[in-house]
Amino acid sequence: MKSLLLAAGLGTRLRPLTEDWPKCLMPIHGRPLLEFWLGILWRQGGGQVLVNMHYHADIVGEFLHRTQFQGWVEPIYEEKLLGTAGTLRKNAGYFDREPVLVVHADNWSCCDFPAFIAYHQMKRPRGTLITMMTFESPAPESCGIVELNDEGVVIGFHEKVKNPPSNLANAAVYIIEPEVLSWMKEREEVVDLSTDVLPHFIGKIATWKNEMVHKDIGTVRMLVSAQCDTCTLPPWSGEDEWQKEFAHNPIHVMLSSLESEYHG
């Protein structure tokens, strides 16, 4: 299964951390966030991966130029942000009418990823074309909350509303069947997965719940809290020149000072 990691976001809520460093490379346990996602995919067999870039693309490009990513990770630069669905549609030919894994790679996630994939391939309800990862949100009023039927299929969305019907939120990790991509290719006006695509496929979206860790690290508080999460480190040693330079990057000092504020 080929994958698309969406890593082009501006990270405005993380300022001043993102003024000189991209959100997708924020440190967690001393390693960049995007490396965790690539490690997850590598452990699934290292299938071909596209990573879209825009904000601080030069920094992200240098990170992806490392030896361990050669031959299976391909960066794609967007001079103008295309939107989550726009990026997927523009690169539709890359996926060869196969299911595609789409990840908002500026989220932090630890879970049984093989089980997520196996659910889509073998256990999702008949007739569904998308499997969405979900998680229990501690602040459901600030998330996109999903409403499910007895089979775990999405029958409604509640986007950042007061008193939502549950705390089960969209984790913005999807496996999408080719029929969905074909539908998108015919509609240039479709730009965003959450607002333009998912509502159209209500009743055809299966869900799989992440019982471990999933966080939107778009705020400093959540990024700080991620430093305390137990997780599996990326499978590479981290002793190459890029990682050695990263270890001395000022972003660590900035984050450490913010941790002190929140913890003390």
The 10s digit of each residue's pLDDT in 188-221 is 889 999 989 999 999 999 999 999 999 888 888 8
DSSP codes, 227-264: TTS--PPPSS---SHHHHHHTT-HHHHHHHHHHHHHH-
Residue 142 lies in a domain: no
Which pLDDT belongs to residue 262? 66
Residue 79 lies in a domain: yes
Which pLDDT belongs to residue 46? 66
Cα separation, 227 vs 118, whole angstroms: 29
Average pLDDT over residues 48-70: 94
pLDDT in tens, 109-145: 988 899 999 999 999 999 999 999 999 887 777 678 8
Structural domain tally of the chain?
1
Residue 8, pLDDT above cutoff 60? yes
Range of the domain at 194: 2-133+170-263
Residue 140 lies in a domain: no
Q: For residue 66, which of 254, 235, 253 has the smallest C-alpha distance?
A: 235
Cα separation, 201 vs 1, whole angstroms: 22
Residue 259 lies in a domain: yes
User: Could you give the 3-state DSSP secondary structure of residue 188?
Assistant: coil
Average pLDDT over residues 87-98: 88
Residue 47 lies in a domain: yes
Which pLDDT belongs to residue 37? 94
Residue 216 lies in a domain: yes
Residue 144 lies in a domain: no
Q: Which two tokens stand for residue 236?
A: 């590479």
Q: Residue 50 maps to which CATH number?
A: 3.90.550.10
Residue 147 lies in a domain: no
Cα separation, 102 vs 197, whole angstroms: 13
